[in-house]
Structure 1
């Protein structure tokens, strides 16, 4: 089975280098950007280990190598830091999915490309995966509102393509919402079970499940063509 391999840059997402001590010739903006990136990486790493409930200012600054004063120059509190990390991660994820989606033409090929981008991104970044998929429910109303917005954005991408490529679809909006919701629930369960790095293995099965209502028996042939594999039988994981 062909499974996308996380790239090295993605695997090293949490390793934002500290600035050298003393004079380094960097601008204030560059210094501030580095501090913020280190804090956001520390948020993701802490959430991966301890969840939102274990996310404290002390944990963030200790992991990032920042002073408390520097932390509060960038964020109001731990929730603010969590939301900033969530926003940065979902913006990057959305861009990757959209780029992959738009690189293809048919509905099945676009769905395959978008799914592959999603699963590969999350598998390469377990901390961000947990932060984006699981922990918003523990982080309060603002995080849940962002989660709902992200789900609508992803559904909107699919709805746009359904309207263009499946003009006979009776309810494109609900269909897109159902697709996104189904994918989300499967991914949520795997991340909760500490199986994040295996997410790309789901690609053939998810793709086939999503295509079957539209392609019938042809779905498995399409799945094999695009992924090089058929979905595993139940119980064969």
Structure 2
């Protein structure tokens, strides 16, 4: 099984009893997994359809049955990866008793996910921002989704703080920059160890000074 939860093993050759839908799903999964592997190894700019089909072990015709071009397949692959990241985060913080616990659990789940899937981490964190306007917009959407999770908890912690959305955007932007530098240097395995430091960096005790009248300046 390849990283990124995509199966790169080939189907048996010749006659088989596998359904057409199963075969199509398996082909798509192999192609998406290959995209992540090739993009992580060679960079998005060097990504080609030839490289993808070679890594996936499918024909060119099969590739074009499922995807329009390399941009289309890269966007689909990174969309799926960001969805898996968010699922891990939500699963981790669901049921935690308070905002700080939810923030800690969600951040830990994200860092663990990236540490255990280096190819997906590099494809999404390092390569996606270089893959054109559509990929950059998808990255913005993903960061905004993570920031929204933080904003909800900031409102619970500091109900009178005047701009929790901006605060959450700042926090997620800082986390992204820290993660980006580690992933770019190939230090994904170090990410889980950063959780405590990141939590301390964004503890923001001074926010407690914001009272009911602080936003109006009175």
Q: Does the TM-score normalized on the shorter chain lie above 0.5? A: yes
1:131 aligns with 2:123: yes
* In 2, Cα distance between equivalents of 1:103 and 1:67: 46
Asked if residue 142 in structure 1 is aligned to residue 134 in structure 2, the reply is yes
Give SS of 1:21's match: coil
Question: Alpha-carbon deviation of 1:18?
Answer: 1.3
Aligned to 1:21: 13
Structure 1 residues 11 and 66: alpha-carbon distance in aligned structure 2, compared to 1, 3 A threshold: closer
Deviation per CA, 1:79-100: give whole Å up to 9, x if none: 1110000110011111111121
TM-score (norm 2): 0.89
Number of residue pairs matched by the alignment: 207
Q: Which residue of 2 aligns with 1:198?
A: 190
Whether the 8 Å CA contact 1:16–1:38 is kept in 2: the answer is yes
Alignment of 1:42-61 (within 5 A): 42-61=34-53
Question: Is it true that 1:66 corresponds to 2:58 in the alignment?
Answer: yes
User: Is it true that 1:180 corresponds to 2:176 in the alignment?
Assistant: no
The unaligned stretches of length 5 or more in structure 2 are 208-218
Preserved CA contact (<8 Å) 1:14 1:45: no
Residue of 183, 189, 214 corresponding to 2:205: 214
Deviation by residue 1:157-186 (Cα, 9 ceiling, x = unmatched): 111121133213232111110110000000
The answer as to whether partners of 1:41 and 1:64 remain within 8 angstroms in 2 is: yes
- Shift in Å, 1:135: 1.1
Q: What are structure 1's unaligned runs of at least 5 residues?
A: 1-8, 217-237
User: Once structures 1 and 2 are overlaid, which stretch shifts more, 170-179 or 10-19?
Assistant: 10-19
Is 1:164 equivalent to 2:149 in the alignment?
A: no
Counterpart in the other structure of 2:145: 153
SS in 1 for 2:202: helix
TM-superposition CA deviations, 1:207-226 (whole Å, max 9, x none): 11111x1289xxxxxxxxxx
Residues 1:120 and 2:112 aligned together: yes
CA distance in 1 between partners of 2:71 and 2:189 (Å): 26
Q: In the alignment, what sits opposite 1:103?
A: 95
Root-mean-square deviation (CA, aligned residues, Å) is 1.8
